Chains A and B, each alone.
Chain A
Amino acid sequence: MINRKKWAVLFLLPGILLFAFVFLGSLVVLFTTSFTDWAIGRKITFVGLKNYIDLFTGDKTFIESVKNTAIWIGLQSTFHVFTGTVVALILAKNKWYSSPVRAIFFIPNVISSAALGMLFLCIMNPQYGLVNTLVTKISGNTFSQNWFMDPKTAFLSVTMTWLPYAGLVTILVMAEMSSISEDIYEAAKIDGASLFQTDIYVVLPLMKNIIGTSVVLAATSMLQKLDIIMMTTQGGPGSKTMNMPMYIYKTVFTNNNYGLANAQGVLLIILGVLALRIIRGLFKMDKKED
């Protein structure tokens, strides 16, 4: 038995070490240095809440990055999840096109976001891009909208690179729907419910948990969106499309201000936990044990 315990510990050890190396160590560095003045070529000095105060009182770009991140979380939690759910309800009717459409819809989610950013950069290019070429063909006038660089369209253009691509939500909701028993559909049919009514009053309430999960995933993915922004606008023009990850990246690698970047990192984690709390509350998702 002692042998068994010893092996159990050894089996857990690699995972624990990796956790400590990647997450725990980083979190300690993140929190402690967020209270310091730390930049390349300078000594680390404790400055208390100065970084946080600076961010909220004097840093317009930071405020804008928080605002944009929050707007994107809001949009992604609603429109994105709604789109994915509607498509799932349609495809769940098991038509001949259901599984190919589900697969096709997921392709933009399965390729690297950097590549997706590149695809959009190409199709929205002002000179040769597909979008402008089409508009020119249809309208007959030369159309040269610079989608990603024009302050009027930049935010919308970036949003469109992720908002409609809800293939993951569709897959998740469909997987959950497949566990609904046939009897429930039968019963609804006998009660005279139409397919649409069945979806709204019977299926959707049963999907509450997976929709909640999808909202969580959609919201938290917006705390990670560095790749597409990096490929397309880098936060510009001005800071129209600046989000928190992009500003952290800039603070670390352009301004070399580590203390300030880590204060932003702490705030990013707090925003994530906050979003998670709110969503769990809204969906009354109880902590399931497993």
Chain B
Amino acid sequence: MKILGKTATALLLIFIVLISTVPFLWVLLSSFKTNSEILSGVLGFPGGIHFINYVTAFKLAPLVTFYKNSIFIAVFGTILNLAVCSMAAYVAVRVDFKLKSLVTLMFSMGLIIPGAALIQPLYTTLNLTHLYNTRLGLILVYTALGMPTTFYVMVSYIKTLSYSLEEAAYIDGAGFVRTFMQIVMPLTRPALATAGVIQFLLCWNEFQLALTLTGATEKRTLPIALYYFKSAFASDYGAMFAATVVVVVPSIVIFILLQKQVISGLAAGSVKG
């Protein structure tokens, strides 16, 4: 009985490790193969490492532009999101005001509204405000999309901070803004890191709104690049594999380097759901 249980456990774990790694490893391996090697369906290792697919991928698609857009949007989408949410969270914890529950509700609204429902309205809004097909438009939308998680992470963290430091600052004559900037912000660094990683990944990976709120190649982000060049790469499998690797690797690297932040951020952010 015990052996049976152990075998079942081992098999399950081996299974999940395989399904989680093999698709990516196979694509990684294939990205170094020539097209004829890919088509002949040889499993094993490529006959030699060919970087040519990566060269072709960068030539066929303006991957550099997509990369720049993704980095720009993710960096500013994260900074803006953290700034907006930590300010609001600070007020929500430290200041008493009448409509507090309404404000809290507002910040968590995003959780129950599926982005897919908002495709057409957002498209209209951004068109009206001339933000359609701009990086700023996507940055604003992503900042709002990530508000529930960041707000919640910040609120729960600021609650754990003792008020005595801020009180001392006020007694010393520091104002509201200065206390927030110089006392509170530095203390919340761990929470900012946690929420920031989650928000960065959201911006980096988001697909449906990036697809519908941008129209021109020079404004698109990496996930959309894959969609558009799915057809452009149709005959060049090697380049398609290489492009996929180029899109996937940053997310995996960020996750591996910042695992602790990702995990604690997910654990904290999900509770609200």
- Chain A residues close to B by CB (< 8 Å): 3-5, 7-8, 11-12, 14-16, 18-19, 21-23, 25-27, 29-30, 33, 83, 86-87, 90, 97, 101, 103-108, 110-115, 117-123, 127-128, 130, 132-134, 136-137, 164-165, 167-168, 171-172, 175-176, 196, 213-214, 216-217, 220, 223-224, 226-227, 230-231, 244-245, 248-249, 252-253, 258, 261-262, 264-266, 268-269, 272-273, 276, 290
Contact = CB atoms under 8 A, between A and B. Distances in A.
A167 B87 CA distance: 32
Interface stretch (B45-53, B55-63, B186-194, B240-248): B240-248
Contacts of A220: 111-112, 114, 273
B226 A118 contact: yes
A227 B144 contact: no
6 contacts: A8-B176, A15-B88, A128-B237, A213-B273, A227-B208, A252-B119
A29 B163 CA distance: 43
Nearest to B15: A164
Contacts of B123: 252
Nearest to B115: A224
Interface in B61-85: 83-85
A115 B117 CA distance: 22
10 nearest CB pairs, A to B: A245-B116, A265-B117, A26-B121, A22-B144, A175-B267, A112-B205, A227-B207, A114-B223, A223-B114, A29-B121
A235 to B, nearest CB: 13
B88 to A, nearest CB: 4
B201 A110 contact: yes
A11 B87 contact: yes
Given A8-B91, A224-B208, A107 B273 contact: no
B211 interface: yes
A90 B30 CA distance: 33
B125 A115 contact: no
B208 A226 contact: yes
A230 B227 contact: yes
B3 interface: no
Contacts of B97: 5, 8
Interface class of chain A by DSSP = helix
B144 A111 contact: no
Given A120-B23, A130-B26, A258-B120, A4 B39 contact: no
Nearest to B155: A290
A230 B83 CA distance: 33
Contacts of A108: 19-20, 23
A196 B271 CA distance: 27
B255 A110 contact: yes
A21 B175 contact: no
B122 A22 contact: yes
Interface in B119-174: 119-125, 140-141, 143-145, 147, 151, 155-156
A12 B86 CA distance: 10
Contacts of A25: 121, 125
B24 to A, nearest CB: 6
Given A213-B273, A217-B270, A111 B20 contact: no
B216 interface: no
A137 B145 CA distance: 46
